[in-house]
A = this chain, B = another copy of it.
Amino acid sequence: MQLEKLTSKRPSEPRRGYGDACGTAHGLELVGDRWALLVMRELMLGARRFSDLRRDLPGISANVLKQRLDELEARGLLSRIRLPPPAARDAYQATDWGLEIEPVLQTLGRFAARSPGHDPTLPLSAVSLMMSFRTMIDAAKAEEFNARIGVLNGEDSFVVTVRDRKLEVERRPVAGVDATVAGPPEQIAAVVYGGAPAEGLAFGGDEALARRFLTLFTLPPKVENRG
């Protein structure tokens, strides 16, 4: 019977919402789709191009990425921008409101870091490493540490400023820093969080300072096997 199903949007709507006035439920409608939160994560330190996102989100397919970007744009969490003329290509950037998702990333990451099932040997994007620094900075250990460290991950470079027990990250060329550390994100993470020897990393400037920087972070304790 009913032929009237072509233009009807209803059949796709029941999938969408939770029909729940709770703010958390609405949050899931905004960023609860698969990959959505990780796309937002990659935008936390500045605009990124389509290919950047594909590279740093291991396993996402082009059509799903496009779909997430369109949805997140429609919901107001990111906007499409045109990069300055030299490289006239589109990029995606979090809106002011979109940037406010960061505490969600942090609390979720902190919660999951306690999981016995967490596998730290998987690939790690440069942004993820920087975000983990922001999340896991140990105020006690950073007490007497004031410095500006450059971090180089392949093509990505960041400047991390630690001052007054707080940590800031900027995505920009390394300049005016006290020391630098270079290496793949996975390897730096292995040193910082896994206690691996720092010998595989490349240092510049005040090497002792850079090595000390790598000790400022503490993971929350794992849950015991019977929680």
Set of chain B residues within 8 Å of A30, measured between Cβ atoms: 111-112, 115, 117
Q: Is A147 in the interface zone, CB < 8 Å from B?
A: no
Q: Is A7 in the interface zone, CB < 8 Å from B?
A: no
Give bound CA distance, A134 to B17, whole Å: 24
Set of chain B residues within 8 Å of A46, measured between Cβ atoms: none
Complex contact A97–B112 (CB within 8 A): no
Q: A27-B111, A100-B111, A104-B108 in contact; A189/B21 too (CB < 8 A)?
A: yes
Copy total for this chain: 2
Q: Is A120 in the interface zone, CB < 8 Å from B?
A: yes
Set of chain B residues within 8 Å of A95, measured between Cβ atoms: 227
Set of chain B residues within 8 Å of A58, measured between Cβ atoms: 18-20
Most B Cβ at <10 Å: residue of A28, A59, A104, A117? A104
Closest CB in chain B relative to A226 CB, distance in Å: 9
List the B residue with the shortest CB-CB distance to A110: B23
Give bound CA distance, A57 to B22, whole Å: 11
Q: Is A34 in the interface zone, CB < 8 Å from B?
A: yes
Set of chain B residues within 8 Å of A100, measured between Cβ atoms: 111, 114
